[in-house]
Amino acid sequence: MPIAQLPAAASTSRSATSGTVPPRSSARLVDGDLVIGGVPATRLAARFGTPCQVVDEAEVRRRVRAFREVLPEAEVVFAGKSLPCRAVYGWMASEGLSLDVCSAGELAVARSVGFPAERVVLHDNVKIAEDLKAALAYGVGRIVVDSFDEIAQLGALAGPGQRVMVRVTPGVDAHTHRAIATGVEDQKFGFSLASGAALEAVRCVLEQPGLRLAGLHCHIGSQVRRVAAYEEAVRRMVGLIAAVRSSHGVEVAELDLGGGFAVPYLPGEDTFDLVGFAHRLRVALNYECAAHRVPVPRVLVEPGRSLVANAGVTLYRVITVKRGVSRTFVAVDGGMSDNPRPALYGARYAVRVVGRPTPLRRAPATVVGRHCEAGDVLAEDVSLPADIHAGDLLAVPVTGAYHHALASNYNLVGRPPIVGVLNGETRLLVRRETEEDLLRRDM
Ligand code: LLP
């Protein structure tokens, strides 16, 4: 499936309408402006102000369809935490996806758009009573249990037949950032496969009259680049499925392999090989199931980032340019409150000036935010036009996932809006946070 691409950060004053270098997205350069979903960035900034997060609906839908096409036999569950807002949950519902929520709050958003309850999956290592009660009241299709306490608590609360999955820590290293590596042993998520806790958790679920074992779940991490890590997870999880059958006499019907499929953030970075993943997943699953003589379970996958990240672009206005001793700091009107990912994970972004002709001469610069910390850096050592100045408009692509979700109002800076674009039309999906919003909770 051809996906139009955002050109590399190389900028010229001539008109460009196409490019060949990822990060992949539907955004295109036209006469120095960045056209996202048919709408020029300059027009979006003028109408909605900056910083402003733009999400291209067609791009999200294209990615969802590509995913479903490649894995038609799997249930695709959107990881709602990556971009939690009503419009996006609505798009996912209309595309036939299921939805992973990990709190009563995310569930409230799902409920408010009438997301079909049977297609909602509740997650997380801690679910407080309100989360469980809200999920049960809404009748969510599956709850992924993550601790022995939770199994007991849920067993006491649930009516008969609540379907649950057991979250397993398979001991697979996905070679991603430590903060988002969730498949390795000795951490807060899931029941360890190696220690036998996972098998014991299945036994506890089977003992609860209110609960029905739907299947097993694992999520090895996020921004995972290697298909081999998923193959290893399949191998181990099928081993557990076989152990469940021999120990408890139960066939496991569903295997949820979580999400984590990496996206390119910078020009030159690879795209996750989704087609290769689908193929190797089938081969591994069929082989392992045959070897263990267990039926092939129905597969679920939970992509978040790979469906929405590249559909998002954030626009900032340059407020000042400061020439330091050895570096040039380009300071913008947003920062770590709308994007803490560089500070949290060392994430890197491409940045470009849009909306004006730029000279060929470029210079290294560090794009920093407005917050009262030296670590408030959005993009370190990027190449920008040498004449960058206050008032310039900057576009930062690949900001659709875990930006709105992770945003804070640090320094009591209101969070930016999300503007949906589709075929030249704009729609305000989430409005900018106002001072009134900020004062409302402060009694
Ligand atoms: N399923 C489960 C159980 C998860 O915990 C997650 C993400 C996903 C699916 C979706 O993963 P994805 O396909 O989006 O990689 N804030 C971090 C990412 C945290 C991911 C948390 N769990 C970041 O900005 O990189």
Give the pLDDT confidence of 57-77 residue by residue, as tens digits: 999 999 999 999 999 999 999
Q: Which helix (H) or strand (E) holds 141?
A: none
What local confidence, expressed as pLDDT, does residue 6 receive?
A: 38
Instruction: Give residue-wise pLDDT tens across range 238-275.
Output: 999 999 999 999 999 999 999 999 999 998 898 899 99
Q: Which residues, 6+ apart, have CB-to-CB distance to 80 below 8 Å? A: 89, 92, 99, 100, 101, 102, 106, 109, 110, 304
Q: Is the peptide bond before 417 cis (omega within 30 degrees of 0)?
A: no
Rounded Cα gap, residues 68 and 127, in angstroms: 30
Distance from the CA of 403 to the center of ligand 1, in angstroms? 12
What local confidence, expressed as pLDDT, does residue 186 receive?
A: 81
Rounded mean pLDDT, 306-324: 96
In this structure, the strands spanning 211-217 and 254-256 are parallel
The atom of ligand 1 lying closest to the CA of 123 is 3
Confidence band, pLDDT 50/70/90 cuts, at residue 183: confident
Q: Residue of the nearest CA to atom 23 in ligand 1?
A: 402
| Ranges of each domain in the chain | 16-55+309-440, 57-306
Confidence band, pLDDT 50/70/90 cuts, at residue 24: low
Residue in 439, 399, 432 with CA at minimum distance from that of residue 416: 432
**Which residues are annotated as catalytic?**
372
Q: Which residues of 342-351 are buried (b: 16+ CB within 10 A; e: fewer)?
A: bbebebebbb
- What tokens does 384 get? 């920008």
Rounded Cα gap, residues 102 and 121, in angstroms: 8
Question: Which of the listed residues 64, 76, 81 should we mutate to test ligand 1's pocket, taking the one with most ligand atoms within 8 A of CB?
Answer: 81
Lowest mean pLDDT among 17-31, 129-143, 281-295, 358-372: 17-31
Residue in 203, 201, 168 with CA at minimum distance from that of residue 182: 168
Greater confidence (327 vs 2) lies with: 327
Rounded mean pLDDT, 275-287: 97
Calculate the CA dihedral of residues 63, 117, 404, 86 and round it to 10 degrees. 90
Greater confidence (178 vs 427) lies with: 427
Rounded mean pLDDT, 396-408: 97
Q: Is the pLDDT of residue 12 over 60?
A: no
Q: Ligand 1: list residues with CB < 6 Å.
A: 79, 82, 100, 123, 180, 219, 222-223, 258-261, 302-306, 341, 345, 401-402, 406
Amino acid at 386: A
Q: Is the peptide bond before 23 cis (omega within 30 degrees of 0)?
A: yes
Q: Residue of the nearest CA to atom 22 in ligand 1?
A: 222
Rounded Cα gap, residues 10 and 5, in angstroms: 14
397 burial level (CB within 10 Å; 0-12, 13-18, 19+): buried
What local confidence, expressed as pLDDT, does residue 117 receive?
A: 98
Superfamily of domain 16-55+309-440: Lyase, Ornithine Decarboxylase; Chain A, domain 1 (2.40.37.10)
Percentage above 70 pLDDT, the chain: 94
Rounded mean pLDDT, 329-343: 98
Per CATH, which fold does 57-306 belong to?
Answer: TIM Barrel (3.20.20)
Residues 199/159, Cβ–Cβ less than 8 Å: no
Distance from the CA of 115 to the center of ligand 1, in angstroms? 20
Instruction: Give residue-wise pLDDT tens across range 210-241.
Output: 999 999 999 999 999 999 999 999 999 999 99
Q: pTM for this one?
A: 0.94
Instruction: Give residue-wise pLDDT tens across range 80-138.
Output: 999 999 999 999 999 999 999 999 999 999 999 999 999 999 999 999 999 999 999 99
What local confidence, expressed as pLDDT, does residue 180 receive?
A: 79
Question: Which of the listed residues 100, 302, 310 should we mutate to test ligand 1's pocket, taking the one with most ligand atoms within 8 A of CB?
Answer: 302
Give the chain's mean pLDDT: 92
What local confidence, expressed as pLDDT, does residue 4 receive?
A: 34
The residue written with tokens 């270098």 in the block is: 21
Q: Is the pLDDT of residue 173 over 90?
A: no
What local confidence, expressed as pLDDT, does residue 13 receive?
A: 32
Q: Is the pLDDT of residue 302 over 70?
A: yes
- What tokens does 278 get? 């689908």
What local confidence, expressed as pLDDT, does residue 2 receive?
A: 32
Rounded mean pLDDT, 268-288: 95
Rounded mean pLDDT, 157-166: 95
Q: Is the pLDDT of residue 418 over 50?
A: yes
Rounded mean pLDDT, 421-434: 97
Residue in 37, 28, 6, 34 with CA at minimum distance from that of residue 423: 37
Q: Which residues pair with 352 in a beta bridge?
A: 395
Lowest mean pLDDT among 6-20, 39-53, 90-104: 6-20
Distance from the CA of 341 to the center of ligand 1, in angstroms? 13
Q: Is the pLDDT of residue 22 over 60?
A: no
Lowest mean pLDDT among 66-80, 181-195, 336-350, 380-394: 181-195
Distance from the CA of 101 to the center of ligand 1, in angstroms? 11
- What tokens does 168 get? 């397993």
Distance from the CA of 81 to the center of ligand 1, in angstroms? 7
The atom of ligand 1 lying closest to the CA of 167 is 3
The atom of ligand 1 lying closest to the CA of 262 is 15
